[in-house]
DNA sequence: CGTCCTATTGAAATTCTTCAACACTCGTGG
DNA sequence: CCACGAGTGTTGAAGAATTTCAATAGGACG
């Protein structure tokens, strides 16, 4: 049984399944590795399967007719990926890095939900968490300056990758999991503006870049401050 | 029994409760009327009660230390109001119009959820709906121009108030339920910009204003188009 | 070595905000 | 009945922030 050693087994939605359910589910799961920039599902196409993210980062995007794009969510292992109770997901999902998935037909999940209230509770909790994050990000998109947006993104990534180091004068080194173009689409900015703001944060001594992707933050307080207030 | 004639009885979360549960709930509910601009709950204050919105519009806002504000959600009757499974809601709730509420202690709901999976399912569905809306709005905040944002808001309100008239060349008359300052906070703009964009839509023949709050749209297609593409 | 992809930087153009003035409505009290 | 003030909304002009267009740099890979 592969499930026993799975990332999603405890922290993911499978954590609430009992051994029998796990066996039943595992009969229909397939694990796949998807390379960066591959599309996982499309906004208006009826969904046939849901997934657990085992590794990597998935971006959820909205697209306008003229090509403008907004990333509306980033999902990490061991998140559940999909929009339950709806034919089509309403957003595009794309691998932002190489991604490993455990997929299963939508019907399996929906059957299991009706048998297991705990499963629906777990999904409900994740939906509420995503809603909290979406609203937090609406504040960023609507009211923060380009500089604050960029700092907010770095702060969000840093605390997501290395939890419990958000406050205090902690030191952190981490990799930005996505490219500048994706950062721009996440922040509602252009690539050029993102680049300029990173340079600005660097020159202000708030971050150091080891290469374009690796960030070193000597004092997380400074980054936290930069993500809220823009005092040059 | 007051519940029998209640707005939330069928369309709201109470629609999934059986008569016994309804009786149990009704022992702890209190109905109140709250006037415009009153605060209903605060982001970081532990919540003692949840509510159903019986009438009116509630705005959910995020606040920054320096006073910048973003509306992250608008809720209408018969929506459930509150953040289940979390001490504090993380957003402020404020009456955007006069609001009528049916409130009950948080514990009552949490007890009922553990007895009734259907109740959690209903709340889960609402959370997913709010998440869909939040993401739709993230696209608007991040990628649309001021003019498109304003048109999007009007379109969203129009279709919310009068469903099933979104497309085709339909004619609609409706009231904007909130003031310009709230529109600005919803759209991530200033009051002045909102005002200018409304004037622009008016001069372009897309909307007509009967007073500052009442909008007449002769052709919803035009408004839909204006909310996506900005061809002067 | 050349090419593709990613990222940075500069200068001009555009959009939105800020600051300031003014208009309208409504209720209150002289 | 009218004047006054508060609250709400509109408009103009100057300023600031971000985008657009254009050029350049660096790394990875065949």
CA B22 – CA A47 distance, rounded (Å): 36
Contact A134 B131 (CB under 8 A): yes
The answer on pLDDT for B7 being more than 80 is: no
Report residue B228's pLDDT band, with 50, 70 and 90 as the boundaries: confident
Would you state the pLDDT for residue A230?
Answer: 59
Q: Which residue is nearest to nucleotide C9 (CA to C1')?
A: A196
Report residue A177's pLDDT band, with 50, 70 and 90 as the boundaries: very high
Looking at every residue in chain B, the average pLDDT score rounds to 92
Report residue A84's pLDDT band, with 50, 70 and 90 as the boundaries: very high
CA B118 – CA B151 distance, rounded (Å): 37
Closest chain A residue to the Cα of B110, Cα to Cα: A121
Q: Give chain A's length.
A: 232
Q: What is the mean pLDDT of residues A39-43?
A: 95
Token pair in block for residue B228: 């996506």
Would you state the pLDDT for residue A166?
Answer: 60
Instruction: State how beta strands B39-41 and B208-209 pair.
Output: unpaired
List CB contacts (< 8 A) between A73 and chain B. Answer: 135
Q: How crowded is the C-beta side of B11, counted as CA atoms within 13 Å?
A: 9
Would you state the pLDDT for residue A1?
Answer: 54
Distance from CA of B126 to the nearest CA of A (A): 10
Contact B120 A124 (CB under 8 A): yes
Contact B132 A90 (CB under 8 A): yes
CB proximity A36–strand D (7 Å threshold): no
Would you state the pLDDT for residue B131?
Answer: 98
Distance from CA of B218 to the nearest CA of A (A): 24
The answer on pLDDT for A164 being more than 90 is: no
- Contacts for B203 with CB less than 8 Å, ≥ 6 apart: none
CA B149 – CA B186 distance, rounded (Å): 9
Q: What is the mean pLDDT of residues A175-201?
A: 97
Q: Read off φ and ψ for residue B33, nearest 5 degrees.
A: -110, 130
**Are the C-beta atoms of residues B157 and B174 closer than 8 Å to each other?**
yes
Q: Which of B107, B129, B128, B110 is nearest to B119 (CA)?
A: B110
State pLDDT tens for residues B72-101.
Answer: 999 999 999 999 999 999 999 999 999 999
Would you state the pLDDT for residue A183?
Answer: 97
- The pTM for the full model equals 0.94
Token pair in block for residue A125: 């909790």
CB proximity B168–strand D (7 Å threshold): no
Would you state the pLDDT for residue A28?
Answer: 93
The answer on pLDDT for B135 being more than 90 is: yes
The answer on pLDDT for A88 being more than 80 is: yes
A123 to chain B, any CB pair closer than 8 A? The answer is yes
Q: What is the mean pLDDT of residues B119-140?
A: 97
CA B224 – CA A64 distance, rounded (Å): 13
Would you state the pLDDT for residue A197?
Answer: 97
Q: In the beta sheet, which residues pair with residue B81?
A: B51
Contact A62 B139 (CB under 8 A): yes
**Are the C-beta atoms of residues A14 and A25 closer than 8 Å to each other?**
yes
State pLDDT tens for residues B54-73.
Answer: 999 999 999 999 999 999 99
Looking at every residue in chain A, the average pLDDT score rounds to 92
Radius of gyration of chain A (CA): 19
B:56-75 residues touching chain A, CB 8 A cutoff = 60, 62, 64-66, 68-70, 72-73
Q: How far is CA B230 from CA A72, B149, B170, B200, in A?
A: 22, 10, 21, 11
Q: How far is CA A63 from CA A92, A147, B40, B136, in A?
A: 8, 24, 35, 10
SS3 content of chain A, % helix, strand, coil (to 5): 45, 25, 35
Q: How far apart are the first and last CA of chain A?
A: 56
Question: Of all residues in chain A, what percent carry a pLDDT higher than 90?
Answer: 80
Closest chain B residue to the Cα of A189, Cα to Cα: B142
A72 versus A35: the higher-pLDDT residue is A72
Report residue A2's pLDDT band, with 50, 70 and 90 as the boundaries: low
A118 to chain B, any CB pair closer than 8 A? The answer is no
Would you state the pLDDT for residue B2?
Answer: 67
Q: Which of A175, A176, A178, A180 is nearest to A193 (CA)?
A: A180
């Amino acid at each position: 049984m592969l499930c026993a050693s799975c990332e999603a087994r405890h922290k993911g939605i499978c954590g609430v399944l009992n051994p029998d359910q796990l066996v039943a589910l595992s009969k229909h799961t397939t694990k796949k590795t998807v390379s960066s920039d591959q599309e996982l599902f499309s906004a208006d196409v009826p969904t046939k399967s849901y997934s657990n993210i085992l590794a990597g980062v998935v971006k959820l995007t909205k697209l306008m007719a003229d090509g403008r794009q907004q990333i509306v969510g980033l999902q990490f292992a061991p998140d559940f990926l999909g929009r339950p109770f709806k034919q089509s997901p309403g957003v595009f999902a794309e691998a932002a890095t190489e991604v490993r998935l455990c997929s299963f037909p939508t019907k399996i999940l929906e059957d299991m939900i009706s048998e297991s209230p705990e499963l629906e509770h777990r999904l409900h909790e994740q939906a509420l968490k995503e809603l909290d994050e979406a609203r937090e990000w609406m504040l960023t998109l609507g009211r923060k300056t380009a500089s604050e947006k960029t700092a907010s993104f770095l702060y969000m990534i840093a605390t997501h990758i290395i939890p419990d180091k958000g406050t205090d004068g902690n030191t952190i080194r981490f990799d930005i999991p996505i490219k500048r173009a994706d950062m721009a689409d996440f922040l509602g900015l252009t690539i050029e503006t993102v680049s300029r703001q990173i340079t600005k944060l660097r020159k202000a001594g708030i971050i150091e870049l080891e290469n374009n992707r690796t960030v070193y933050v000597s004092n997380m307080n400074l980054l936290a401050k930069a993500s809220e207030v823009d005092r040059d």
